[in-house]
A and B are shown apart, each in its own frame.
Chain A
Amino acid sequence: MDQSHIRNFSIIAHIDHGKSTLADRILQITGAVSEREMREQVLDSMDLERERGITIKAQAVRVMYTADDGETYQLNLIDTPGHVDFSYEVSRSLAACEGALLVVDASQGIEAQTLANAYLAIEGDLELVPVLNKIDLPAADPDLHARALADLIGDDPDQVLRISAKTGEGVKDVLEAIVTRMPPPTGDPAAPLRALVFDSVYDQYRGVVAFVRVVDGEIRTGQQVRAMATASDFAAEEVGVMSPVMTPIGHLSAGESGYVVTGLKSLVDLRVGDTLTLAGSPAESPLPGYREAKPMVFCGLFPVDSDEYPDLRDALEKLSLNDASLVWEPETSQALGFGFRCGFLGLLHMDIIRERLEREYDLDLITTTPNVEYEVTTTGGELLEVRSPVDLPSPNHIEQIEEPYVRCTMLVPQDFVGAVMGLCQERRGSFVTMTPIENRQQVVYDMPLAEIVLDFYDQLKSRTRGYASLDYEMIGNRQSPLVKLDILLAGEPVDALSMIVHRDSAYARGKGLVERLKETIPRQMFEVPVQAAIGGKIIARETVKAKRKDVLAKCYGGDISRKRKLLERQKEGKKRMKHVGNVEVPQEAFLAVLQLDGQSQQ
C-alpha cells in the first residue's frame, strides 16, 4: 500500500484509563474482530496482564479503515507497555509510530505515567491526538481535563476528543483523527531494508517472532535477514501482520508494521530496538536509539524446598526465552542454600517474574531484599559492580561507593504535597522543581533508586490516599556514604538478611528490622538474640524469648494416631522453615526486610 494511506500509531494512557478498551473498540468498529469474537482486552493476552490490567508485551495490530473521505487506510495500532519499568520498550514502540493517541480518564485527569510517555512522544516528534475517555462516568469533568490536556501538548481544547470507549461514543472521531491529523510514514521504499524491532516474543514452535516497523525498503518471506546490533543472521520464515491473529502476507514494505518469524532460538539473538536489514544488501547504518536493556533491581530467589532448585533453573530458563531483560546467575547463600541472583528492569518486572514463577511453575520461593547495582571503588583502585550486599568488600577496602539515582516525577493533589515532600526527604531525595498541572502539583525529586525499590510506591500511595502517581528515569550514579547492615541470629550473621543502607539511616533500619524479625521468628527451644550490626559493631538487639510450653494436652488410647498425625503435620510445617544454624526461620522473616522501619510510616 502506498505510504500516504498508512498510519502507524500507539495509545498512551495511564493504567486503567481505558487503553485496552479503546483498542478493542477500534478492532470492533473496523471489523477486525467480529462481535462474536469480541473478548475483553483482546490485545492483552497473558493472564497476568489481564489480572493486573496492564500490558507487558507490545504488539502491532493491523486494521483497515474506510474514512469519511472514501479512501481506505491501513491503520497499524502498536500497543505499548504501560509501566515505568518498561519505558525503553515504550520508547521503541513510539519510535515505530508517527502519531499517538493520548488517552486520559475524564474523571481522573493526567497521571505521571501519561505525562512521562507524552513527553517521550513529543521528543520523538509524534503527532499527539488528545482523547478524554470515560465521559459517560458521573464523576467525569471533561472541561477541566480537556484544558489541562491541551496545555500539556500545546493544542487547542477544542481539539481534545471526548469519547467513551466503553459505550463506543466518539470512537469513530478517533479513527478520523488518526487519518486526518497524523502524518503518513515517509521512509524510502527503494533504499536498503531498515526495519525497527519494537517487540519480540518467543514461540516454542516457531522460535523468535519479531514485531517490526519497516522504515525503508521491503522485507519478504524467505529473505536472508540480519539483526544489526547482535549481528545474527536468519531467514525470514514468514512475514505477516496481526489482524488480530498472525496472518502471513509475504512482504512488508516501507511504512508498514507486522511480524517476522525468525526461527532464532533465543531472544538474546534479537533485542528490542535492533534494526533488521538484508544480509545480502545491508543498510549502511542502523536506525538510532538502540540500547541494551539493563537490569536495575536485583534480588536473590531461593526455593523454599532445596529439591526445587533444578525446577527453578528450568523455570528461569523458560521465562528468559520470552524476556531478554531478565538476567540471572547462580547464587549460594549460607542461610538459604542454592538459588539465583536475578536482575530486573524494575519493581513491577520483579513482581511479575516472581509471581509467574510461583503461579505458572508452582514454585515456593524466598525473595531476598531487592537492591540496586553499586559501583564500588576499592582502596586498590579496582572498580567493582556489586549486585548483592554479600559481595560488598569490607569497609577498610572501600575507597568510595556510587549508587544509581533517578529523577522522580510525581503528580500530587495540592493537599498532599507536604506529605509527599516529607516522604522524599526521608528517602534522601533532593528537591528539583514543583510545577502546577491542572489542580495538582508536579513534584520532581532526585532520589537514590535504592530508596524507591523497597516500598516507596506503596508509601506514596498510602500518604496521598492513592491520588499520587509516579514516574522515574535514571540520571546516573552518585557517590553516597553507604554501609552494609548485617543481621545476626543467635550470634551468626545471616547473609540473606544483609542490606546496603545509607550510613545515617542504618541505626533506624537496623532497629526496625530486628523488631520485625522478633515478631516474625517463632519462639524456639532456646533464646534467640536478633542483632543488627555494621562492620562487627552491634547497633540494635532484640530477643526472641525461649519457648516455655509446647505439649499436646491429652493423649489416651483414642488419641494416639491423631497426635502422631499432628506431629507429622507439624513436621511438614517445619520443612517450610529455613534452618539458619539451629534457628528455624519462617519465609516471612526474609520478607520482613522489605518493609522499612515503623518510624517512616508515622
Chain B
Amino acid sequence: MPGDPAGVAHLYVHLPFCAARCGYCAFVVEVGREDARDAYLGAVRAEIQRADRLLGPLESVYLGGGTPTLMGSGRLRDLLDEIRPRCAPGAEVTVEANPETVDAALVAGLADAGATRVSLGAQSTRDHLLAALDRRCGPDQVRRAVDAVRADGRLRLSVDLMLGVPGQDGGDLAADLDWVLATRPEHVSWYELEFKEGSAIARGGAAPPDEDHAADLYEQAIAGLEGAGYRWYELANFALPGAECRHSLAYWRARDYVGVGVGAVSTVGARRWRNAPGLDRYIAALGAGGDPPRSVEQRDADVCRRERWMLGTRLDEPLDLAWAGPADHPEAIERLAARGLLERHAGTVRLTRRGRLLQNAVVQEILDFA
C-alpha cells in the first residue's frame, strides 16, 4: 500500500540516554554517554531534515527513550524548535520522562517549547516492586513529578504502570490503582511486565507469574480504571474521554510513521526500516551527510494485511474489514463469535471483553502468520 499522499503525519524521536539500565529493559539505551548528547542532537536534527520529503504536517510527535529528559532542557528545547515548524495546528507532542528527572523547571521548559503531553514512567508506587524492577526512583519522586506537572498545568499527563511484577499481589495493584485514581492522569498505560530476553530480570531467573494470577491483576486494573471513567481503548491503554494518545493510535491504526534516532523504526507504505543501534556510527553517518546504518524490511500485501489485523484488534473500536482485508480463516470468525470472543456488525469485527484478553490467540485463529 502506498504511503499517505499528504506525507507522514507521525514522528518518533529516540533519545537513548539513561542513567542506568532498568532491570526489565531490553531497549536501545546508552548509559553514561552524556558527553555525546550534543553530537547526537545534531545527528537527530540532520536525520529529521533528511526525512523532509517524507513528512507532511505532523499531527503527533513522540520523544521516547531512553530517558529523553536526560538530554537536558536546553537540548530538548532545541530539538522541539526543529520539530515545531513541521507540526500541524493542535498537534500532540509527547515527551517521555522518568520521575526522578522531573521538576518544575523541566516541566515549564517543555511546555514553553511546545510539548503538550508528558508520559511519566512511574511503573509502580510500591517500594518492593520498584526495587524488583531496579528503578532508580522511589514513590516520593513519582509523587513529586506528578505534582510538578499538575502545578504547571499546561501538559497532559500520562503514567506508565506495570503488572505481573515478581512479588506483586492484588493488594499492591489496589494500592497503585488508588494512587492513579487520586492522581487522575488523563491517560494510563498499564503493561504486563515482559520477560524480554536480554533484560536483567529475565537473566536473573525470575519467573513470570502464572496465568491466573496475571489475569486477576489485569482484570483488576481494567475494572478499577473503567469504574473511574477511563476508556480501555487499547489492550494496555486507558484514557479519560478525548485523551487517547494520538501518536500510539497511529501505530494501532497502521498509519505511516517516521522514527529517527538510534534503533528507531519507520514504516512508510510497504517499506519498514530500522536504524541500527550504536551511538557512534549513527552520529558519524549523519555527520558525513548520509543516512544512518539501517536494515530494511519490504512488507508484502499479506504481511501488511495481517499487521492491520494484529494491530487493529488491539483497539476497542470496530475493525473495518474493507480496510483491514480478508481473514485467512473466515470460518474462525464464526467460531470465535459463537464462543463469545468476537462480535460482527456491518462489515466490522470487534473483540468482546473476553476476546480482548485473548487477543493473541484470537488473531492466531483468524490469520496464518507464516
Contacts and interface: CB of A to CB of B under 8 A. Distances in A.
Interface string B329-370: 000000110010100000000000000111111111101111
Contact of B264 (A526, A558, A563, A570): A558
Interface in B307-345: 307, 310-311, 314, 335-336, 339, 341
A551 B192 contact: yes
Contact of A550 (B263, B307, B314, B358): B358
B310 A557 contact: no
Given A554-B191, A561-B272, A548 B369 contact: no
A554 B26 CA distance: 13
Contacts of A563: 310
A558 B263 contact: yes
A557 B272 CA distance: 10
B359 A564 contact: no
Contact of A548 (B215, B236, B311): B215
B369 A571 contact: yes
Interface in B229-279: 235-236, 248, 251-252, 257, 259, 263-267, 272, 274
B218 interface: yes
Contact of B360 (A526, A552, A558, A560): A552
Contacts of A432: none
Contact of B311 (A526, A555, A568): A555
B211 A549 contact: yes
A525 interface: yes
Interface in B1-32: 12
Contacts of B368: 571
B211 A568 contact: no
Given A553-B191, A571-B370, A560 B311 contact: yes
Contact of B358 (A549, A564, A570): A549
A525 B358 contact: yes
Nearest to A563: B310
Contacts of B45: none
Nearest to B303: A564
B212 interface: yes
A553 B215 CA distance: 12
Contacts of B303: 564
Contact of B235 (A523, A551, A558): A551
Contacts, number: 103
A549 B192 CA distance: 11
A16 B211 CA distance: 47
A205 interface: no
B306 interface: yes
Interface string A300-334: 00000000000000000000000000000000000
A549 B265 contact: no
A551 B164 CA distance: 13
Contacts of A552: 359-360
Contact of B259 (A550, A557, A561, A564): A557
Given A525-B341, A558-B259, A551 B267 contact: no
Contacts of A555: 235, 251-252, 310-311, 314
Contact of B363 (A547, A567, A572): A567
Given A564-B369, A571-B369, A554 B218 contact: no
Contacts of A550: 357-361
Interface in B188-244: 191-194, 211-212, 214-215, 218, 235-236
A560 B251 contact: yes
B178 interface: no
B211 A523 contact: yes
A592 B234 CA distance: 40
Given A550-B359, A550-B361, A574-B364, A561 B265 contact: yes
Interface residues of B, number: 49
Contacts of B191: 553-554
A557 B263 CA distance: 11
A393 B46 CA distance: 80
B297 interface: yes
Given A548-B215, A554-B236, A557-B259, A567 B369 contact: yes
Given A549-B215, A553-B191, A558-B264, A570 B364 contact: yes
A557 B257 contact: yes
B276 to A, nearest CB: 13
Contacts of B251: 555-557, 560
Nearest to B357: A549
B12 A557 contact: yes
Interface in A557-602: 557-558, 560-561, 563-564, 567-568, 570-572, 574, 582
A239 to B, nearest CB: 58
A595 to B, nearest CB: 24
A571 B263 CA distance: 27
Given A549-B211, A564-B303, A554 B364 contact: no
Contacts of A567: 310, 360, 363-364, 367, 369
B94 to A, nearest CB: 12
Nearest to B367: A567
A567 B303 CA distance: 12
B186 to A, nearest CB: 19
A451 B369 CA distance: 45
A526 B266 CA distance: 38
Contacts of A568: 369-370
Contact of A551 (B297, B339, B360): B360
A558 B265 contact: yes
A554 B194 contact: yes
A310 B214 CA distance: 44
Contacts of B361: 525, 547, 550
Nearest to A545: B212
A526 B339 contact: yes
Contact of B194 (A547, A549, A553): A553
A561 B270 CA distance: 12
A523 to B, nearest CB: 7
A190 B179 CA distance: 106
B211 A557 contact: no
Contacts of A551: 192, 235-236, 356-360
Contacts of A560: 251, 265, 267, 272, 307, 310-311
Contacts of A558: 12, 259, 263-265, 274
Contacts of B357: 548-551
A520 to B, nearest CB: 16
Contacts of B297: 561
Nearest to A560: B307
Contacts of A556: 248, 251
Nearest to B256: A557
B208 to A, nearest CB: 11
A3 B353 CA distance: 90
Contacts of A557: 12, 251, 257, 259, 265-267
A569 to B, nearest CB: 9
Nearest to B234: A555
A581 B9 CA distance: 47
Nearest to B10: A557
Given A526-B339, A555-B314, A547 B267 contact: no
23 contacts: A525-B341, A525-B361, A525-B365, A547-B361, A548-B211, A549-B357, A549-B358, A550-B357, A551-B235, A553-B193, A554-B236, A555-B251, A555-B310, A556-B248, A557-B265, A557-B267, A558-B12, A558-B274, A560-B251, A560-B311, A567-B363, A568-B369, A568-B370
Interface of B: 12, 191-194, 211-212, 214-215, 218, 235-236, 248, 251-252, 257, 259, 263-267, 272, 274, 297, 303, 306-307, 310-311, 314, 335-336, 339, 341, 356-365, 367-370
9 tightest A-B contacts by CB? A548-B215, A549-B215, A567-B369, A553-B192, A558-B265, A550-B360, A568-B369, A550-B361, A571-B369
Interface of A: 523, 525-526, 547-558, 560-561, 563-564, 567-568, 570-572, 574, 582
Given A551-B235, A553-B236, A558-B259, 12 more contacts: A525-B358, A549-B358, A555-B314, A558-B12, A558-B265, A560-B265, A560-B272, A564-B307, A567-B367, A567-B369, A570-B360, A570-B364
